[in-house]
């Protein structure tokens, strides 16, 4: 079957039958596309690790369509964690909670904690509510590579290893969810996202800790190299970029810049948006484009810092860490 074609049958109905049969579905969420499987089917969960080339000790996020389902997957939930659910679900926030004893450790990478979120993409919610149970969904990319933000990216990453891609258009946000360890206060930020520490603190009435001092939880986004294109990527300040441009050119470089820098014709420029929301929305698609154009080098002008930009910095630093 052509995974991307528009079909006679309702795409939600197809996705539902694939999940029920233990298959893998490309799932649009508001952050990035996920690779979804029935969280209660161990054989299906195993297929995810194989399809992504992901080590078995890296835990998966369970996605649910209704808040009350959280009790199927987690126990002893702290009241402040409920406050976060009420404020940000459905939306780009993953909570790490104490795992329910009935949940397979295959999902949690052997740990006693579990990551749970309720996405807000309408198709994801529709599918999850129709399914009535949780699905595990890591980002639908090869381990360590750029997360997919469009259906065609999922097809490119996974080819025949995904059974059906639910066509949900380009994702709204473009980078992965914020992850908070919400087992006991003070809560800890494990991965930055478009829900910022300040937004969390406003709801909690206290600051969240930053992950530097955090626990030994395994978060693959915590590996120094992650979210990386195949082409080497270098992050430069605006001044460094200007100096580089003036130096005699050695490599066929693609430049992602957000400020108006005059570029000689030998460089291939990609103008990035100036707002953090628009930048995040574009980032992975532009890195993919740079990979396709087979540049020798991707140069990225460091965007501003603070607020929503921090999550973008985090992704760029990890993308650069591969070199």
**Site membership for ligand TXA, residue 120 (CB under 6 A):** no
Q: Which is nearer to ligand TXA, 84 or 255 (CB)?
A: 84
Q: Which long-range contacts (CB under 8 A, 24 or more apart) does 46-55 make?
A: 46/106, 47/22, 47/23, 47/161, 48/24, 48/136, 48/138, 50/161, 51/24, 51/158, 51/161, 51/162, 52/138, 52/140, 52/141, 52/142, 52/143, 52/158, 53/142, 53/143, 54/138, 54/143, 54/220, 55/143
Q: Applying CB under 6 A, which part among 41-49, 110-118, 125-133, 202-210 lies near ligand TXA?
A: 110-118
- Please state the closest distance from residue 31 (CB atom) to ligand TXA, in A: 3
Interacting residues with ligand TXA between 188 and 227 (CB under 6 A): 217-221
Q: Which is nearer to ligand TXA, 40 or 218 (CB)?
A: 218
**Site membership for Mg ion, residue 113 (CB under 5 A):** no
Binding ligand TXA (rule: CB under 6 A), the pick from 138, 151, 174, 197 is 138
**Which of Mg ion, ligand TXA, none does residue 219 bind to, with CB < 5 to 8 Å depending on kind?**
ligand TXA
Distance, in Å, from the CA atom of 194 to the CA atom of 177, rounded to the nearest integer, reads 7
Q: Applying CB under 6 A, which part among 2-10, 105-113, 150-158, 278-286 lies near ligand TXA?
A: 105-113
Total site size for ligand TXA, rule CB under 6 A: 27
Look at strands 253-257 and 297-301 and give their pairing: parallel
**Site membership for ligand TXA, residue 149 (CB under 6 A):** no
Q: What is the DSSP string of 220-271?
A: GGGSSS-SB-SS-EEEE-HHHHHHHHHSPP-S-EEEEESS-----TTSEEEE
Distance, in Å, from the CA atom of 312 to the CA atom of 290, rounded to the nearest integer, reads 17
Q: Which is nearer to ligand TXA, 73 or 258 (CB)?
A: 73
**Which of Mg ion, ligand TXA, none does residue 254 bind to, with CB < 5 to 8 Å depending on kind?**
none
Q: How many CA atoms lie within 13 A of 188 on its CB side?
A: 15
**Site membership for Mg ion, residue 149 (CB under 5 A):** no
Binding ligand TXA (rule: CB under 6 A), the pick from 118, 146, 179, 320 is 179
**Site membership for ligand TXA, residue 137 (CB under 6 A):** yes
Name 37's Cβ contacts closer than 8 Å, sequence gap at least 6: 19, 22, 23, 24, 25, 44, 45, 47, 48, 135, 136, 137
Provide the residue count of the chain.
323
Q: Which is nearer to Mg ion, 139 or 192 (CB)?
A: 139
- Using alpha carbons, list the distances in angstroms from residue 56 to 47, 48, 49, 53, 60: 11, 10, 6, 9, 10
Binding ligand TXA (rule: CB under 6 A), the pick from 41, 113, 149, 196 is 113
Distance, in Å, from the CA atom of 291 to the CA atom of 229, rounded to the nearest integer, reads 6
Binding Mg ion (rule: CB under 5 A), the pick from 139, 171, 177, 178 is 139
Q: Which is nearer to ligand TXA, 147 or 257 (CB)?
A: 147
**Which of ligand TXA, Mg ion, none does residue 217 bind to, with CB < 5 to 8 Å depending on kind?**
ligand TXA
Q: Which is nearer to ligand TXA, 33 or 267 (CB)?
A: 33
Distance, in Å, from the CA atom of 43 to the CA atom of 57, rounded to the nearest integer, reads 16
Interacting residues with ligand TXA between 235 and 294 (CB under 6 A): none
Contact residues for ligand TXA, defined by CB under 6 A: 29, 31-32, 34, 58-61, 94, 96, 108, 111, 113-115, 119, 137-139, 176-177, 179, 217-221
């Amino acid at each position: 079957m052509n995974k991307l074609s528009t079909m006679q049958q309702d795409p939600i109905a197809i996705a539902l039958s694939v999940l029920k049969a233990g298959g893998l579905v490309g799932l649009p969420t508001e952050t990035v596309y996920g690779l979804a499987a029935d969280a209660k089917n161990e054989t299906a969960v195993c297929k995810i690790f194989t399809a992504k080339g992901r080590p078995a000790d890296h835990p998966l996020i369970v996605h649910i369509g209704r808040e009350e389902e959280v009790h199927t997957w987690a126990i002893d939930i702290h009241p402040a964690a409920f406050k976060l659910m009420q404020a940000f679900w459905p939306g780009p926030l993953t909570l790490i909670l104490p795992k329910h004893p009935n949940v397979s450790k295959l999902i949690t990478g052997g740990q006693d904690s579990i990551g749970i979120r309720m996405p807000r993409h309408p198709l994801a919610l529709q599918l999850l509510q129709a399914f009535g149970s949780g699905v595990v969904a890591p980002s639908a990319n090869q381990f360590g590579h750029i997360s997919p933000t469009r259906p065609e990216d999922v097809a490119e990453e996974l080819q025949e290893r995904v059974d059906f891609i639910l066509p949900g258009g380009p994702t709204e946000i473009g980078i992965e969810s914020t992850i908070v360890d919400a087992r006991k206060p003070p809560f800890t930020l494990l991965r930055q996202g478009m829900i910022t520490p300040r937004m969390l603190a406003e709801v909690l009435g206290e600051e969240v800790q930053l992950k530097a001092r955090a626990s030994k939880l395994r978060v693959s986004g915590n590996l120094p190299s992650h979210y990386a294109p195949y082409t080497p990527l270098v992050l430069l300040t605006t001044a460094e970029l200007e100096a580089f441009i003036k130096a005699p050119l050695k490599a066929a470089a693609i430049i992602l810049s957000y400020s108006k820098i005059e570029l000689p014709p030998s460089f291939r420029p990609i103008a990035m948006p100036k707002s953090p929301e628009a930048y995040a929305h574009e980032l992975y698609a532009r890195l993919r484009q740079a990979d396709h154009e087979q540049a020798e080098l991707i140069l990225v002008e460091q965007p501003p810092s603070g607020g929503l930009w921090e999550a973008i910095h985090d992704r760029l630093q990890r993308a650069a860490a591969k070199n």
